[in-house]
A and B are shown apart, each in its own frame.
Chain A
Amino acid sequence: MIDHYDWAGGREAMLRFGPDTGPVVVAAMPLFEEANRARAFIVTILRALAAQGIASALPDLPGTGESLIDTENTSLNAWNAAFSSAAQHFDPGSRPVHAIAVRGGALVDATAPVASRWHFAPVAGEGLVRDMLRARLAAAKESGEAISADTLEPPGPPVELAGNRLSRTLLAELGRNVPSNRPPLRIVRLDTDTQPADRHVAAAPLWRRSEPGNDPDLARLLADDIAAWIATCAG
C-alpha cells in the first residue's frame, strides 16, 4: 500500500509491505539512475520478506521518485534526515525497526535510529560520482563537448549528470561520504566485488543494466539473509 511519512522538509510517499505488527525493515534504494534499475528487484525482496511475515517500507527520498522537491535542490543531509524520519514513522517501542540499503542507499541510513543495518553492495559516494562523471565524459567525447572533473566543484549552478540535474553541494557531500559502519551491521556483496563482506553471493550487478531487470532467485536469497539477520539481532 502507498503510505506517507513526514520529515522536516515536507511529506514524501512510502510504499508499505507486509503485516502491521512485528519487525519493520525500512529500505534505502540505490541513488540516481541505479534506483530506476533496481526498483523492481528491491520490491521483489520486500515482497519475499512479507511472505515470511516481515513488514517493510520503501520511502521516496526528497527529490526522488514521486517527490515534489526538484532533484537539484536535495542534499545528502536531507536524505539522511528524511530516511531517519521514515524509520521513526514506526514506534520502536512496539516494533523493532531495521534498515536495509542497496548500493548508494547505504549512504543515507547513517543517522537513522534503527536496531540494525544490512547493506547489499554498499558503495562510497565517490564511486557513484565517478561513474556518473565517466558517463558524462563518454557522452562528451562523442559530441566533442569539453568537460572535466573541475566542472563539478562548488560553487556554481547544478550539473547535469546521467540524466539528473544535481547540486554541486550534493556532489561534494557524496565525494566525502562512505557507508555507515555503525554496528550491528551485516554486509553482503557480489562475488565479483573483492571488498570485505560477511557474505559474497554469485550474481550480476543489476544496477549496471540500462534495461531494468530483476533476479527473483537473488531477491529470495537476500530476503532469507535479511530475515535470518533480523532474527539474530532480536536474539
Chain B
Amino acid sequence: MLPDDINEIDATVRAVLRDVLGLSEARVAGFRSETPLFGGLAELDSMAVAGMLTELEERLGILIDDDEVDGEMLETFGALVRFAASKANR
C-alpha cells in the first residue's frame, strides 16, 4: 500500500471518530496508534460502534462483515486504522 493511501485512511478514521463521537478536531488530531478506543472513550458505546462502522464503509468504499467486528480491532486507534487499511486494500 502506498504511503498516501494509509495517510488518507488514517485521516478518514480520525474524521469518522470526530463526526460520530462528537469529538473536537484537536482531540482526534492527538490520537496516537496506541490510544485506546473501546473502553477508553466513554462516547464509544454500541450505537456509536454501529454508526462508526457504517460511516467507515461509506467513506472508504469498503464492506465490513459483522463477524469481523471484535474487541481487538476496536482496542486502539492504530488497530482500527490497520483494520480499515486491510479492508480498503482488497
Interface residues of A (CB under 8 A from B): 33, 127, 130-139, 141-142, 162, 192-194, 204-205, 208-211, 213
Subset of 14 A-B contacts with CB under 8 Å: A33-B47, A134-B69, A135-B50, A137-B69, A138-B50, A138-B69, A141-B70, A141-B71, A194-B58, A205-B51, A208-B52, A209-B22, A210-B22, A213-B22
Chain B binding surface SS class: helix
- Count of CB-CB pairs between chains A and B under 8 Å: 66
Which residues of B have CB within 8 Å of A132? 50
Q: B19, A204: Cβ atoms under 8 Å?
A: yes
| Residue among B19, B46, B58 making CB contact with A138, cutoff 8 Å | B46
Which residues of A have CB within 8 Å of B75? none
Distance of A134 Cα from B64 Cα, bound (Å):
11
Distance of A102 Cα from B53 Cα, bound (Å):
21
Distance of A194 Cα from B58 Cα, bound (Å):
7
The digit string for B7-32, where 1 denotes a CB below 8 A from any CB of A, is 00000000100111110000000000
Closest to A163 in B: B47
Q: A208, B46: Cβ atoms under 8 Å?
A: no
Q: B66, A135: Cβ atoms under 8 Å?
A: no
A125 CB, min distance to chain B CBs, angstroms: 14
B69 CB, min distance to chain A CBs, angstroms: 7
Distance of A136 Cα from B47 Cα, bound (Å):
8
Tell me the residues in window 23-77 of chain B with beta carbons closer than 8 Å to chain A beta carbons. 43, 45-55, 58-59, 61, 66, 69-71
Q: B22, A205: Cβ atoms under 8 Å?
A: no
Number of interface residues of B (CB under 8 A): 25
Q: B22, A131: Cβ atoms under 8 Å?
A: no
Q: B69, A194: Cβ atoms under 8 Å?
A: no
Which residues of B have CB within 8 Å of A127? 54
Closest to A136 in B: B46
| Residue among A142, A205, A210, A213 making CB contact with B47, cutoff 8 Å | A210
Most buried by B among A132, A136, A193, A208: A208
Distance of A139 Cα from B19 Cα, bound (Å):
21
Q: B46, A139: Cβ atoms under 8 Å?
A: yes
A61 CB, min distance to chain B CBs, angstroms: 21
Q: B54, A192: Cβ atoms under 8 Å?
A: no
The 5 closest A-B pairs by CB, nearest first: A134-B50, A138-B46, A135-B50, A139-B46, A208-B51
Q: B49, A131: Cβ atoms under 8 Å?
A: no
Distance of A142 Cα from B54 Cα, bound (Å):
19
| Residue among B19, B21, B55, B66 making CB contact with A137, cutoff 8 Å | B66
Closest to B70 in A: A141
Q: Give 18 A-B pairs besides A162-B47, A192-B58 with Cβ atoms closer than 8 angstroms.
A: A33-B47, A130-B54, A132-B50, A134-B69, A135-B46, A135-B49, A137-B69, A139-B46, A141-B70, A192-B55, A192-B59, A193-B58, A194-B58, A209-B19, A210-B21, A210-B47, A210-B48, A211-B22
Closest to A209 in B: B22
